[in-house]
Amino acid sequence: MSSSLKDVAARAGVSARTVSNVVNGSARVSAQTRQRVQEAIDELGYRPNLAARSLRAGRTGIIGLAIPELHSPYFGELAGLLVEEAQRRSWTVIIDQTRGDAEAERRLLAGGGGRVMDGLIISPWALEAQELAATAPSLPLVLLGERDPQGLADRVAVDNVAAADEAATHLLARGRRRIAAIGLQPHLRNGTAEQRAEGYRRALRRAGITPRPEWERAVGSLHREEGARAMAELLDGDAAPDAVFAFTDELALGAMYMAHTRGVRVPEELAIAGFDDIEDGRFSHPTLTTVSPDKRQIAQRALQCLADRIYSPDNEVPASDLTIPHRLVVRGSTAPGGEAR
């Protein structure tokens, strides 16, 4: 195998202590000794063993990121930013895909078969408020997205109700009245979809419109395919909507695809708005109006929370609940009148 601290010490004719000092710069070492040690290190190609260091330090320098899936523009982008921010703090990130599996999320929250991670950033999917609260976090925890009523862990999220309200209000301002919603997930308990639905209904009511249950379409996943399916159902219904608010951009793009397929013109006959501001929506035809959460800030704040908690002397930092700003980005899919761009 590879060489250890001891090997280097022997080769340089010094003690392990001195080598350690050279490697970590933890104490003053004479230039001459340092030189000798450095040579030995280079010759032997010595690399400190992280496992041993972690064992000693009680820290691994590794944080976990648990998301439903990497394969999805939104989570991919977010994961990229989180990894980038973590690298900036010289943390390594291990990624777990929960695939919306409650069991996987539970396992991770419980400390997941082995103490490797110094902390965990998790975007809960299947788990509901009650259970998140019940599972006493065995490690520093940051929740991405919705719901931790008990305030046991830090939470970083956008104001989904307000954001959805804005999106729907925008559609109303474009003169649309028959506004459908795509993306409800009654089988999930993470709350995100429910909050976006709430904002949507609120906007409708404020405009004097009674939300129609048949225009609130549930989906099995948040992918394009489901958006297309839901759109087809809406178009097949008795009264076709003149606008759609999809709870994710992927659903919106799926809906747009189906509109094209059926020969429905966007935005003339059907305006579409999404949520997430993924890159695809900036280059689709027409380009997609969407709610844009500040993803960079989500990543930064999440890492900051984790750092505070990991490095805090006592771990009695009160849980913070951060609301990340968002803005409505208006593009071609909700252009006024008949202009597609």
Q: What is the binding site for DNA (CB under 7 A)?
A: 1, 4-6, 13-18, 20-21, 23-24, 26-30, 32-33, 46-49, 52-53, 55-58
Peptide bond into 267 cis (omega under 30): yes
Q: Considering beta carbons, is residue 127 or 228 the nearer one to its own copies?
A: 228
325 binding partner (options DNA, its own copies, none; Cβ < 5 to 8 Å by kind)? none
Quick check: 237 binds its own copies (CB under 8 A)?
no
Tokens of 280: 């695809």
State the nearest-atom distance from the C-beta of 2 to DNA, in Å: 8
Query: Residues 62, 207, 240, 330: which binds its own copies (CB under 8 A)?
Result: 62
What is the dihedral sign for C-alpha 300, 301, 302, 308? positive
The span from the CA of 308 to the CA of 191, in Å, is 27
Main-chain phi, psi angles of 125, to 5 degrees: -130, -60
Nearest 5°: the CA angle 39, 41, 47 is: 160
Query: Residues 260, 262, 265, 327: which binds its own copies (CB under 8 A)?
Result: 260
Tokens of 195: 């909050």
Residue 69, helix vs strand vs coil: coil
119-122 and 141-144 as β-strands: parallel, antiparallel, unpaired? parallel
State the nearest-atom distance from the C-beta of 113 to DNA, in Å: 11
State the nearest-atom distance from the C-beta of 91 to its own copies, in Å: 10
Quick check: 73 binds its own copies (CB under 8 A)?
yes
Q: CB neighbours (10 Å) of residue 21?
A: 18
Query: Residues 17, 187, 205, 285: which binds its own copies (CB under 8 A)?
Result: 285
Tokens of 224: 């394009």
Quick check: 313 binds its own copies (CB under 8 A)?
no
List Cα–Cα distances, 153 to 58, 120, 150, in angstroms.
Answer: 22, 10, 8
Which residue type sits at 32?
Q
Quick check: 84 binds its own copies (CB under 8 A)?
yes
338 binding partner (options its own copies, DNA, none; Cβ < 5 to 8 Å by kind)? none
State the nearest-atom distance from the C-beta of 36 to DNA, in Å: 9
Query: Residues 27, 94, 134, 173: which binds its own copies (CB under 8 A)?
Result: 94
What is the dihedral sign for C-alpha 210, 215, 219, 222? negative
Which chain residues interact with its own copies by CB under 8 A? 1-2, 45, 47-55, 58, 60, 62, 69-73, 76-77, 79-81, 83-84, 87, 92-97, 111, 113-116, 138, 223-224, 228, 253-254, 256-257, 260-261, 279-280, 282-285, 341
